[in-house]
Amino acid sequence: MSSQDLTLPLREVRRGQRFTLLVYVRDNGTCPVAEYLDELTERERKRIDGLLERAAEHGPPRNREQNAALTGEDFFEFKAFQIRIFWRYTSGRRIVLFHGFTKKSGRTPRHELTTGRQRWQETVEELGR
C-alpha cells in the first residue's frame, strides 16, 4: 500500500497554503508527537513551531539543516536544533508527523529509528480496523 493512498486516524496541527500537517492519533486517543511537543520548553517549542509553520505555508525546507531524508529509511525528519520530528507525505498535500525526540549525539540513535518505523507501521495498521 502506498503512503499516497492512506486515510488515517489523524488530527490537524497546521494548515498552510501548500500543505496540511497532521499528527497520528492512536486508537486509544494518545498522540505521540503531540505528547513530545508538550514536553518541550517554550524556547524549543517556538523553534519547532516556526519550522512546522513554514513547512505548511511553503513546503518542507530544502535546507538539510532543517529537513532531511533519513538514509535507509522511507521517511524524513524536520530538524530544529536537537529537536527531531519524523514525517511522511500522504495524499492531498498532507504531511503526517509520527515520531518526535531530542537528538543528543551526532547520529540518530538506532532505537529512535526503530520507534519511528514502528509508529509508522502502527499508523498503517490502523487502516484495517
Per the rule left: phi > 0, alpha: psi between -120 and 50, beta: everything else, 93 is left
Report the C-alpha gap between 128 and 27 in whole angstroms. 12
pLDDT digit string (tens) for 24-76? 888 788 999 999 999 999 999 999 999 999 999 999 999 999 999 999 999 99
* 88-102 average pLDDT score: 92
CB neighbourhood size of 91 (10 A): 11
For 3-128, CATH number?
3.30.2310.20
The confidence score (pLDDT) of residue 90 equals 85
Query: What is the pTM for the complete model shown?
Result: 0.88
pLDDT band at 125; cut points 50, 70, 90? confident
The confidence score (pLDDT) of residue 1 equals 39
pLDDT digit string (tens) for 106-122? 899 999 999 999 999 88
The confidence score (pLDDT) of residue 8 equals 56
C-alpha distance from residue 121 to each of 1, 57, 65, 116 (Å): 12, 28, 27, 9
C-alpha cell at 29: 486517543
